[in-house]
């Protein structure tokens, strides 16, 4: 994993502490009540309506994804390029600030905020790990008091957003690799991790305590088979 301030794992605030525990939280559907990437992009389109044509340009890639000929990362990059390609850092940061403010006021689970606060009070290292984009996930992490953030990085061309992914899409097996990276970065630490989907189970089963939050029936059945705890948050 890299250490870019805008995408992957930030420098930890707590190091080499005996008995350290890391609390690793997924974002979409675990802390927030819904996906964040599409609402972020559609919200920007509302502020700049002509950008809707970028969504149209992404339709062929969406069709290829639906029939299994391309992956989620390729689809995500296509939509990001279409909607935000060419935007400056100033434009992106200004929109991110507005959007994150509304998201945290209306779009998060109270129980998630309580659990984050409990881990913070216990002195745990808080890690936000998300497949969502580094153009806004670090801002959410800062607002919620996370110590480290690891997410999907988006490429820039100078001062303007290109939109291609500069890291693997942080989902499924890539989360496994990032968990392994956290273990190497914090040797001897105990890991607790929270996720909400069946795609989170590969990494939830590897930590000392994995928690599936608000999982659907299929995900809960799978979680029970691999000793992942199931919880309901509101």
- 169-218 pLDDT, tens digit per residue, is 999 999 999 999 999 999 999 999 999 999 999 999 999 999 999 999 99
Query: Environment class of residue 129 by beta-carbon count within 10 Å: exposed (0-12), middle (13-18) or buried (19+)?
Result: buried
- Residue showing tokens 């994804």: 65
45, part of any domain: yes
- Residue showing tokens 């984050």: 116
14, part of any domain: no
What percentage of the chain reaches a pLDDT higher than 90?
A: 87
Q: What is the mean pLDDT of residues 36-56?
A: 94
Q: How confident is the model at residue 118 (pLDDT cuts 50, 70, 90)?
A: very high
CB 109 within 8 A of CB 31: yes
7, part of any domain: no
Query: What's the predicted TM-score (pTM) here?
Result: 0.90
More confident residue, 18 or 233: 233
169, part of any domain: yes
Domain span including residue 62: 21-231
Q: How far is C-alpha 172 from the geometric centre of its chain's CA atoms?
A: 12
Tell me how far apart the alpha carbons of residues 179 and 174 are, in angstroms, rounded to a whole number: 9
Strand partners, 108: 32
CB 30 within 8 A of CB 195: yes
8, part of any domain: no
Which residues, including other chains, have CB under 8 Å from residue 191's CB and lie 6 or more apart?
Answer: 21, 22, 24, 179, 182, 183, 207, 208, 209
DSSP state of 32: B
CB 127 within 8 A of CB 148: yes
CATH number for position 56: 3.40.50.1000
DSSP state of 10: P
CB 116 within 8 A of CB 15: no
Q: How confident is the model at residue 54 (pLDDT cuts 50, 70, 90)?
A: confident
Name the packing angle between helices 89-106 and 137-144 (round to 10°): 50
4, part of any domain: no
């Amino acid at each position: 994993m890299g250490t870019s301030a805008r995408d992957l794992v930030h420098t930890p605030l707590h190091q080499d502490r005996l008995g350290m525990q890391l609390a690793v939280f997924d974002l979409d559907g675990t802390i927030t009540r819904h996906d964040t990437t599409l609402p972020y992009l559609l919200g920007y389109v509302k502020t700049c309506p002509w950008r809707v044509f970028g969504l149209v340009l992404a339709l062929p890639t969406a069709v290829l994804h639906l029939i299994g000929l391309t992956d989620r990362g390729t689809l995500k990059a296509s939509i990001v390029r279409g909607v935000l390609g060419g935007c400056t850092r100033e434009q992106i940061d200004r929109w991110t600030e507005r959007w994150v403010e509304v998201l945290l006021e209306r779009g998060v689970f109270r129980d998630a905020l309580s659990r984050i606060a409990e881990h913070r009070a216990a002195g745990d290292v808080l890690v936000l790990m998300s497949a969502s984009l580094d153009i806004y996930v670090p801002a959410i992490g800062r607002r919620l008091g996370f110590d480290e953030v690891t997410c999907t990085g988006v490429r820039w061309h100078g001062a303007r957003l290109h939109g291609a992914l500069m890291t693997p899409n942080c989902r499924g097996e890539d989360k496994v690799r990032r968990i392994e990276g956290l273990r190497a970065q914090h040797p001897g630490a105990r890991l607790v991790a929270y996720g909400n989907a069946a795609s989170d189970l590969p990494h939830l089963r590897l930590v000392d305590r994995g928690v599936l939050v608000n999982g659907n029936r299929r995900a809960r059945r799978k979680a029970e088979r691999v000793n992942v705890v199931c919880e309901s948050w509101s």
